[in-house]
Amino acid sequence: MTKKDKYTTWESLPDVLTAKHLSDYLSISRRRIYELFQISVEYGGIPNFEIGASKRVKNSDFKKWLSLRKQEKEEQLKVD
C-alpha cells in the first residue's frame, strides 16, 4: 500500500492504528477522532493509548468499539 492510499477496508488496517487510519476508515475528520479519544470509553469514546504525545488504538479494540456502537444503535432502533 502506498502512502497515498486510504485505509478503507478492514484488511488494509494495520495492527496499531493512528487517528489518520481511523479517519480514513470511518470517513470522518481527524479532529472528530481526537474528540472521540477524549471521551471516556464508558460514554462511547474510542479506547486508545499514548506513545509519547501520539495516540494509538489497537486494531482489536477498534473492532470491539465498532461492534458496540452498531449494537447500541440497533438496540436504540428497537426501542424507538
Any domain includes 49: yes
pLDDT digits (tens, 9 = 90+) for 53-76: 999 999 999 999 999 999 988 888
Whole-number pLDDT of residue 2: 55
pTM for the model stands at 0.83
Any domain includes 64: yes
Torsion of CA 11, 75, 33, 42, to 10 degrees: -110
Please tell me the total count of domains within the chain.
1
Any domain includes 65: yes
Taking all residues of the chain, what is their mean pLDDT, rounded to a whole number? 91
The CATH number linked to 28 is 1.10.10
Taking the CB of residue 9, how many other CB atoms lie within 10 A of it? 8
Any domain includes 36: yes
The single residue listed with the C-alpha cell 444503535 is 73
pLDDT digits (tens, 9 = 90+) for 2-39: 555 677 788 889 999 999 999 999 999 999 999 999 99
Any domain includes 4: no
| Model confidence at 80: pLDDT above 80 | no
What is the extent of the structural domain holding 35?
Answer: 10-79
Any domain includes 37: yes
Calpha distance 24→47 (Å, rounded): 17
